[in-house]
Amino acid sequence: MHAVTTPAGIGRVENDEIALLDTPFPDLGAVLQETGSLDALRSTPVVERVPLASAELGAPLGTPRAVWGIGLNYKSKAARAGRDLPTDPILFLAASSAVLAPGSSVALPEDSTQQMDYEAEIAVVIGRPLYCAEPDQVWSSIAGITAANDMTARDVMRSTSIPVLAKSFPGFKPLGASVCTLDELADRDSIPVRSWVNDELHQDDTSAGLIFPIPELISRISRYAPLQPGDVVLTGTPAGTGQDRGCFLAPGDQIRVEVGPVLPLTTSVARQTA
């Protein structure tokens, strides 16, 4: 199942339509906080159908309670950077206020950065609480996956060494466009992740290239911090970012991120206004 959040409510994607559902929840995050799963949406009655192509989609999870991230978690990225593989995950939190709906524009904060970058990532959505979980307990507590663009101000990262500052500008965390349940995945250990800038492919990898696979990564986070329904865990980005190419984003650029069967996540860069 592919589930989405729209201004008119929650919907299931069915072929080329969105089936808007008879549910009181404003977004998928609220569903997860209440039920710990998206399964109830499979049988929820439909109140209206709208064309997918013309539908406005919101951030699928609303404003998540927590957005976790990890630095340097793809072998391809480490190889491109000439760095050794880390022995422990490099973890951080980003401000959930930076979450942006699919199809939206993000302003380039030119007063703060000249090196705005994109990072295509698989985003894991927590369904049931996890604390001190073993890796083999993780998949059963995941509600689904979505796509993320973990945008980063590279010069801010260098000058501050604080990921939350470099990654939390308004709109720097696009998520969506749908949340895909795990039964939609052909191989949960090899989920494709790709990105394009202005229709040019720059990132193309799968989760088989992760240094810390999804179950191990989430297990490690849970050793120290309880994960709650609706929390999001970004899993790292492969080689091919602007940092790798020495080419950063500018107003007018369009980024498309595709993760497995999830609906594509598109974001455009706009000039900052007063």
Does a structural domain hold residue 193? yes
Q: Count how many domains the chain has.
A: 2
Q: Output the pLDDT for position 273.
A: 83
Same domain, yes or no, for 180 and 222? Answer: yes
For the chain, report the end-to-end CA distance as a whole number of angstroms. 42
Same domain, yes or no, for 264 and 141? Answer: yes
Same domain, yes or no, for 233 and 147? Answer: yes
CB 107 within 8 Å of CB 270: yes
Structure-token match 């339509």, residue found: 17
Does a structural domain hold residue 209? yes
Distances (CA, A) of 98 to 71, 93, 103, 212: 18, 11, 15, 25
Does a structural domain hold residue 117? yes
Q: Which residues pair with 173 in a beta bridge?
A: 99
Same domain, yes or no, for 132 and 239? Answer: yes
- Full-model pTM: 0.97
Q: Output the pLDDT for position 61.
A: 98
Measured distance CA(270)–CA(252) in Å, rounded: 6
Same domain, yes or no, for 31 and 89? Answer: no
Provide the mean pLDDT of the chain. 97
Same domain, yes or no, for 71 and 197? Answer: yes
Q: Output the pLDDT for position 97.
A: 97
Angle in degrees, CA 228, 231, 234, rounded to 5: 135
Does a structural domain hold residue 260? yes
Does a structural domain hold residue 58? no
Q: Output the pLDDT for position 100.
A: 98
Same domain, yes or no, for 24 and 86? Answer: no
List average pLDDT for each run of 10 residues in the chain, which is 274 residues long. 97 97 97 97 97 96 98 97 95 97 97 97 98 98 98 98 97 98 97 98 98 98 98 98 97 98 98 84
Same domain, yes or no, for 152 and 267? Answer: yes
Distances (CA, A) of 249 to 25, 158, 177, 221, 262: 36, 17, 21, 31, 24
Range of the domain at 127: 67-271
Same domain, yes or no, for 11 and 74? Answer: no
Structure-token match 């630095």, residue found: 71
- Residue 151 makes CB contacts below 8 A (sequence gap 6+) with 106, 116, 117, 118, 119, 167, 169, 171, 172, 173, 174, 249, 267
Same domain, yes or no, for 144 and 43? Answer: no
Same domain, yes or no, for 195 and 255? Answer: yes
